[in-house]
């Protein structure tokens, strides 16, 4: 008996779930619940398109759906919980605690970017996609994607270096699973 298309889809989802959820979380500014909803929406769309995209690039398809859905949801006004301006101090001086605090801080600052800038920065530096693929995922020309990325990084640097920030002016841009420090450009 041959494999069913649902088996391939299930294997894809099982293999890529955590990476796609993390991408969705970054695109939603760190809101895990919105990220889960966004990913579910994208996977439903992938399910219906699976026969067309299974042999090609299903992850690129999901990534594009996530970016577009995140931008759409960012335009909607939501009057629920609002994030606080300053995060509480993390307990302890442990290196892991500092890493978690820095990632949380980066996610909070990413949430302050526009949806398109956030998507461009996340796709370029966290997903490590070339500019052409970032442009394809955003549905924009390469020059526009490059501009969105540059402006997003500049805004991140500005927000990360604000004087009222308790963590200080260190900067980081996500790359893979680790954060890479970035020196300020003068």
Placement of tokens 């069913």 in the chain: 4
Which sequence spans correspond to the domains of the chain?
A: 1-76, 92-186
**Pair 23, 63: CB distance under 8 Å:** yes
Distances (CA, A) of 91 to 88, 97, 106, 136: 9, 7, 18, 42
What would the pLDDT profile of 79-123 be if each residue is shown by its tens digit?
Answer: 566 667 787 666 555 577 778 888 888 888 999 999 999 999 999
Q: Which CATH number applies to 92-186: 3.40.50.2300, 3.10.50.30, 1.10.10.10, 3.40.50.12710?
A: 1.10.10.10
- Percent of the chain at pLDDT above 90? 45
Residue 93, both tokens: 């001086």
């Amino acid at each position: 008996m041959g494999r069913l298309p649902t088996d391939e889809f299930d294997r894809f989802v099982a293999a890529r779930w955590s990476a796609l959820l993390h991408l969705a979380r970054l695109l939603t500014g760190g809101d895990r619940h919105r990220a889960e909803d966004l990913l579910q929406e994208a996977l439903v769309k992938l399910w219906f398109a699976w026969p067309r995209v299974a042999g090609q690039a299903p992850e690129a398809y999901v990534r594009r759906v996530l970016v577009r859905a995140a931008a759409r949801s960012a335009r909607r006004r939501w009057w629920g919980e609002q994030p606080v301006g300053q995060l509480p101090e993390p307990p302890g001086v442990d290196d892991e605690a500092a890493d978690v605090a820095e990632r949380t801080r980066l996610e909070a600052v990413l949430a302050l970017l526009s949806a398109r800038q956030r998507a461009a920065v996340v796709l370029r530096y966290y997903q490590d996609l070339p500019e052409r693929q970032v442009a394809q995922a955003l549905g924009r020309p390469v020059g526009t994607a490059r501009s969105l990325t540059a402006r997003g990084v500049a805004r991140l640097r500005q927000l990360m270096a604000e004087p009222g920030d308790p963590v200080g002016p260190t900067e980081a841009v996500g790359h893979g699973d680790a954060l890479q420090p970035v020196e300020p450009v003068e």
